[in-house]
Structure 1
Amino acid sequence: MVGGSTSAVHATPATTALRPEAESYARRGVVTLVYNKRTVGYATFHHDYAQLGDDALAALRTLDRQPGVDPARSGLWGLSEGAWAVSLAAWKSQDVRFVVTIGAAGLPPPDRPAGPKSSCSGTRACPARCPAP
């Protein structure tokens, strides 16, 4: 489970913020690994999504090596900024069997401002419609 940007920037670690979700999965027999994202090289207005994706993939591979974990049924769960990290990890590796994204941004990271005003508020105007692929 990969948390959003607030768990890396603010005092509430992901291991605390995501605990209710992790415990809910555990009650249903699902093993989870929640970790705090690295803060080295991470600042409010600089987010290295490739590095965060690599970290998510490393976490998944660590979990897959644990007794009782079936790697054929393992995947990644990401919240907000964590949704970008798990999506990048899945793009890089077939080890990721599924991805769950919660509150993923509608714009790719290079096109949206980093930091607390990363939604469509502030100085950036939102497009009326998403551009065609």
Structure 2
Amino acid sequence: MLMTERDARAKWCPHARASNEREAAVAVNRHPVAKPDRDCFCIASGCMAWRWGDAEQTRRFVVFKDNPRSLSNHAPHLPDGVPDTWEWLRHGEGEGRSPHSAGFREPQCEADARRRGYCGAFGKAEG
């Protein structure tokens, strides 16, 4: 199953082990009655078994419809639906931007958070 790293970190990993000084076992990964140890949850891309299912996410860009040349260096008000974390790019700024377009660009960290992967320890993810 494809999932974001955030979702994966909420899943229990059957390969992880955590030592518990109170028990005779050297390492455990879950208790019969209690919730799994937090140290036994998936670490997503920090694990050698993690595989990316999606290609690297392209940063989203919302074109500003008004004449960008009439604006100062300050960003205009955000259009509806554009998060306040997105950065303002004046016309001609940014990689591959047309010199005639200006707009708001998604931060790389937000694009990365949308990328999905899976645990490759058990084969390839379906769908």
Higher strand share goes to which structure?
2
Higher helix share goes to which structure?
1
Give 1 or 2 for the bigger CA radius of gyration: 2
